[in-house]
Amino acid sequence: MRRKIKLICLLIAANFQANAQPRQEISLNGEWNSVIDQYDTNRGLARGDRPWGKNDREEHSIDDAPMLHVPGDWNSQREELKYYEGTIWYGRHITLTPESDKRYLLRFGGVSYRARVYVNGTQVATHEGSFTEFEADVTAQLRAGDNYIAVRVNNRRERDAIPAMSFDWFNYGGITRDVTLCVVPSHYISDYFIQLDKHRADLIHARVNLSDSVAGETVNLYIPELKKSVRMTTDDTGTAYADIPVKRLVRWCPANPKLYKVRLTTSTDTVSEDIGFRNIEVRGTQVLLNGEPIFLKGINIHEEIPMQKRRACTEADAIRLLDEAQALGVNMIRLAHYQQSRYMVCEAERRGILLWQEIPVWQAIDFSNTSTQDKAVLMLQETIRRDKNRCADCFWGIANETRNTPERNHFLARLLQAGRETDTTRLFVAAFDLARFDRQQDKFVMKDDFYHNLDVVGINKYMGWYEGWPKAPKDIRWDVCSDKPLLISEFGGEAKYGIHDNGDVAGSWSEEFQARIYQMNLEMFANIPNLVGICPWILFDFRSPTRLHQTFQEGFNRKGLVGDKGERKQAWHIIHNYYKER
């Protein structure tokens, strides 16, 4: 049966001036029909029902196909899709009456991994990358009455992808984030970047882009609480700029995550958003937040609900993960190893948690492939584009655990250049696992030809788990990236909740042995002169096809401070107490 769903438009912006039209956002979340296309036959599924006419002959009908819920991964929704990697077609109908003076933007929060989007049989968008937003203007494709949207989704691992063939998390497939149809005026505010100066506490920079390249258009910016009303005029690219001096600005920080209502208006459009203002910079080997050194009390988080073996995809999921992180006592989260949802970023910002958000350039991707380089650059630009107004985003991560080769260095240099051209207000960082104990020098050192280009250096080091101790932890010296702020971006070991022993048996998978690893690492970290923070790996146990121990891992990486059923391990309390004392 054809499902025609009348959608209710939700107003998301108030009408702040008489001639500005409110925006609408229509949710397309819910049940979508789905067809497994394992061999990529691609026959007619973009068009929906077949046959349509007496001379059209097809062997399928997507409208009678089983349902998948959006947003959500397909692996957790149907048993036969538990480990599926390949193509699935999604389809649904909507009924609406397009207005002639409006534009309609079809927006996807995230599709894993490749997406091809059709509206009424016409391809309107393609996208690669599981964790960044994309949209298409579908005004020309929509018609009065019934409209059909189809999405071809493919999560097959490929050598030239980002990440590539092997990675230490589960390869969830599907439309994993919200889908919306945004209704905007025909001439609308398409983008804006409003942030505090990198160094000054009394100057806000604003850039506003209109959808059309028209000079002389008036854009008004209001920050009522600061009593600021600024009038800007667009140049011939449709862009308006302003430098706004401010007094008595309360800067965002973990202790006081202050947000201000900011409103932009034109003659036809209005947008409003809560934005926080802060300064984040490096001085010597320190990270300064609002001019003061900050010690980063971090945790790594995967976007997964391990208790249900599924991708985290809702606001409630984000709150669930952040509640546990906040209970640990963190002021920083590394969103590993990929860009996470708007819900995670916005909720962290409301709670005063700094974020390290990275793109999934993870270990052995194809650094010599120009196409892969292009994809990485676009992913970084898409990440910054979505979250540039989120003051919680303080660190853009460009790579994790990569080898020191000329090809990699060229790749990362290109990424870093693109990132800094897009955003000068944040700090750029990467995580390395190249630190080694040199017995002749009697200290930890690291040889890498790229790290000096970064603002902050992350070090992943699993002492006590993958590597034994060369001497007592309290006696170990570090001389790693001594001219840069250094963050221990990963450390820890595995334990299965409920396994106990006396803590001195490597490979016992006991809580006591994991707790001992943490205690010994904290003793060692006290000797790192340029240390600006630590970030244990990881908050929750998480699913990983690379973890093959049938007795203890069972398809999970067990390095979580919290088990896959939500139980806190002994190591959780060690980190909690450490953060409480800092």
Q: What is the 3-state secondary structure (H, E, C) of 81-125?
A: HCCCCCEEEEEEEEEECCCCCEEEEEEECCEECEEEEEECCEEEE
Burial class of residue 479, CB neighbours in 10 A (0-12, 13-18, 19+): middle
Two tokens, residue 574: 């060690």
Based on the fold, state whether residues 233 and 319 are members of the same structural domain: no
Is the predicted pLDDT of residue 52 greater than 90, yes or no? no
Based on the fold, state whether residues 89 and 37 are members of the same structural domain: yes
Write the pLDDT tens digit of every residue in 345-386. 999 999 999 999 999 999 989 999 999 999 999 999 999 999
Write the pLDDT tens digit of every residue in 401-428. 999 999 999 999 999 999 999 999 999 9
Write the pLDDT tens digit of every residue in 209-229. 999 999 999 999 999 999 999
- pLDDT number for residue 21: 47
- Give ∠ CA 528-534-538 in degrees, rounded to 5: 140
Based on the fold, state whether residues 266 and 303 are members of the same structural domain: no
For 94, 353, 483, 530, 533, the CA distances from 286, given in Å and listed in that order, are 53, 18, 10, 7, 10
- pLDDT number for residue 42: 76
- pLDDT number for residue 53: 55
Helix axes 511-525, 570-581, angle to 10 degrees: 30
The number of folded domains in the chain is: 3
Is the predicted pLDDT of residue 61 greater than 80, yes or no? no
Q: Is residue 288 in some structural domain?
A: no
Domain final position from 139, 168, 184: 184
Is the predicted pLDDT of residue 242 greater than 60, yes or no? yes
Based on the fold, state whether residues 167 and 245 are members of the same structural domain: no
- Which residue range(s) make up the domain with 34? 10-184
Q: Are 485 and 427 in contact (CB under 8 A)?
A: no
- pLDDT number for residue 46: 83
| Average of per-residue pLDDT values in the chain | 93
Based on the fold, state whether residues 77 and 215 are members of the same structural domain: no
Question: What number of H helices and E strands is found in the chain?
Answer: 6, 37
Q: Is residue 3 in some structural domain?
A: no
Give the residue-averaged pLDDT of 459-470. 96
Based on the fold, state whether residues 360 and 497 are members of the same structural domain: yes
Q: Is residue 5 in some structural domain?
A: no
Q: What is the CATH number of the domain that holds 227?
A: 2.60.40.10
Based on the fold, state whether residues 203 and 104 are members of the same structural domain: no
Based on the fold, state whether residues 377 and 506 are members of the same structural domain: yes
Based on the fold, state whether residues 304 and 365 are members of the same structural domain: yes
- pLDDT number for residue 38: 93
Return phi, psi of residue 234, to 5°: -75, 150
Task: Return d(Cα 361, Cα 146) in angstroms, integer.
Answer: 41
- Sheet with strand 67-70: strands edge to edge: 67-70, 30-36, 87-96, 145-154, 114-119, 122-128
Q: Are 485 and 286 in contact (CB under 8 A)?
A: yes
Q: What is the CATH number of the domain that holds 174?
A: 2.60.120.260
Task: Return d(Cα 435, Cα 169) in angstroms, integer.
Answer: 24
Task: Return d(Cα 417, Cα 246) in angstroms, integer.
Answer: 31
Task: Return d(Cα 144, Cα 112) in angstroms, integer.
Answer: 31
- pLDDT number for residue 259: 98
Task: Return d(Cα 377, Cα 359) in angstroms, integer.
Answer: 10
Q: Are 354 and 333 in contact (CB under 8 A)?
A: yes
Q: Is residue 270 in some structural domain?
A: yes
Domain final position from 281, 315, 332: 281
Could you please report the per-residue DSSP string of 199-251? S-SSEEEEEEEESS--TT-EEEEEEGGGTEEEEEE--TTSEEEEEEE-SS---
Two tokens, residue 3: 């499902």
Write the pLDDT tens digit of every residue in 100-145. 999 999 999 999 999 999 999 999 999 999 999 999 999 999 999 9
> How many Cα atoms sit within 13 Å of 494 on the Cβ side?
19
Task: Return d(Cα 85, Cα 444) in angstroms, integer.
Answer: 41
- pLDDT number for residue 357: 97
Domain final position from 146, 164, 184: 184
3-state secondary structure of 579: helix
- Give ∠ CA 361-365-370 in degrees, rounded to 5: 95
Based on the fold, state whether residues 274 and 373 are members of the same structural domain: no
Write the pLDDT tens digit of every residue in 277-332. 999 999 999 999 999 999 999 999 999 999 999 999 999 999 999 999 999 999 99
Based on the fold, state whether residues 406 and 277 are members of the same structural domain: no
Is the predicted pLDDT of residue 159 greater than 90, yes or no? yes
Is the predicted pLDDT of residue 12 greater than 70, yes or no? no
Q: Is residue 493 in some structural domain?
A: yes
What stretch of H or E contains 137?
Answer: strand 134-137
For 195, 321, 480, the CA distances from 253, given in Å and listed in that order, are 14, 20, 29
Write the pLDDT tens digit of every residue in 430-448. 999 999 999 999 999 999 9
Based on the fold, state whether residues 107 and 78 are members of the same structural domain: yes
Two tokens, residue 489: 């971006």
Q: Is residue 462 in some structural domain?
A: yes
Is the predicted pLDDT of residue 62 greater than 90, yes or no? no
- pLDDT number for residue 364: 85
Give the residue-averaged pLDDT of 395-406. 97
Please name which of 521, 522, 572, 563 lies closest in space to residue 541, comparing C-alpha atoms: 563
Among 43-47, 198-202, 430-434, 492-496, the range scoring the smallest mean pLDDT is 43-47
Q: Which residue in the block uniquely carries the two structure tokens 């706004």?
A: 244
Is the predicted pLDDT of residue 453 greater than 80, yes or no? yes
Q: Is residue 355 in some structural domain?
A: yes
- pLDDT number for residue 5: 34
- pLDDT number for residue 548: 85
The amino acid that residue 102 corresponds to is K
DSSP state of 474: G
Q: What is the CATH number of the domain that holds 399?
A: 3.20.20.80
The amino acid that residue 446 corresponds to is M
Cβ neighbours of 10 (radius 10 Å): 11
- pLDDT number for residue 376: 97
Point out which residues pair with 116 in neighbouring strands: 126, 152
Strand 286-289 with 292-293, pairing: antiparallel
Q: Is residue 533 in some structural domain?
A: yes
Write the pLDDT tens digit of every residue in 525-561. 999 999 999 999 999 999 999 998 888 999 999 999 9
